[in-house]
Amino acid sequence: MNTKQTIAIIGASGNMGSAISKSLSKGNNRLLLFANEKEKAEAVVKDIKSGNAAADVEALECPTDASWEADVIILAVPFQAEKELAEKIREVANQKIVISIANPLNATFNGMVTATDTSAAEELQKLLPNSKVVKAFNTTFAADFSTPVIDGKQADAFVAGNDEEAVNTVSELVKTAGFNPIVAGDLSVSRTLENMQLLLIQLGMKYHYNWLAGWKILHN
């Protein structure tokens, strides 16, 4: 990615948030990290800078401030937290790209808490009608960010959204994170992507299934 972008990562201290933050810090990006406890976001900053002293990354105390400065906003939070965050950032996220990584799983991992005719990403788009919501990173586990290349081939990561330019921008971020971006379709395809992750989690719980191992078999 040639143009330097400012990326706000909300929920940066979580497993996914920290993994995304560390991966994107390798690119030409300015990262603004927010966590409910600033000390945890600062710990992620310290970890990033220990491996890359030149990384342009800092921790902020407010998700609204981080989103106001950002070109791209990544909500690395559970589905249940998206509504409250959307209310906080709605005005400052106007016309900006907002990435949803959430999977709306129920407590027993046997279904979704959303209706069958919608998805977490589509619900977020309703909450942020003037933003460009894109689905990404929901089918990747935090541990996958450390090993996105298998036998010299990049693992796939799916992207879905209604705005072509926004999808292209997010696809470049997926590349920066080390994955091969696959544009899956418009935002409604998020329903399929979120159900894919539900299946992967169920297989993992039942058979200790590793989707990257499965990907390797399919691509040999």
pLDDT in tens, the chain (220 residues): 457 899 999 999 999 999 999 999 999 899 999 999 999 999 999 999 999 999 999 999 999 999 999 999 999 999 999 999 999 999 999 999 999 999 999 999 999 999 999 999 999 999 999 999 999 999 988 888 887 777 778 889 999 999 999 999 999 999 999 999 999 999 999 999 999 999 988 888 887 755 544 434 333 3
Neighbours of 39 (CB within 10 A): 9
The model carries a pTM of 0.91
pLDDT of residue 210: 58
With DSSP H G I counted as helix, E B as strand and the rest as coil, what are the percentages for the chain, rounded to 5? 45, 20, 35
pLDDT of residue 126: 98
Q: Is 155 exposed, middle or buried (0-12, 13-18, 19+ CB in 10 A)?
A: buried
pLDDT of residue 209: 59
Structure tokens given for 219: 């691509």
- SS3 category, 134: strand
**Buried (b) or exposed (e) across 59-87, using 16+ Cβ within 10 A?**
bbeebbebbbebebbbbbbbbeebeebbe
Find tokens 């169920």 and name the residue.
Answer: 202
User: Given CA atoms 53, 12, 164, 94 in this order, what sign does their dihedral have?
Assistant: negative
User: What are the structural domains of the chain?
Assistant: 5-207 (3.40.50.720)
Residues 117 and 207: beta-carbon distance below 8 Å: no
End-to-end CA distance of the chain: 29
Alpha-helical (H) ranges within the chain are 15-24, 38-51, 63-69, 79-89, 120-127, 164-176, 190-207, 211-218
Residues in the chain: 220
CA distance 123 to 74: 15
Find, among 33, 131, 34, the residue nearest to 87 by Cα: 131
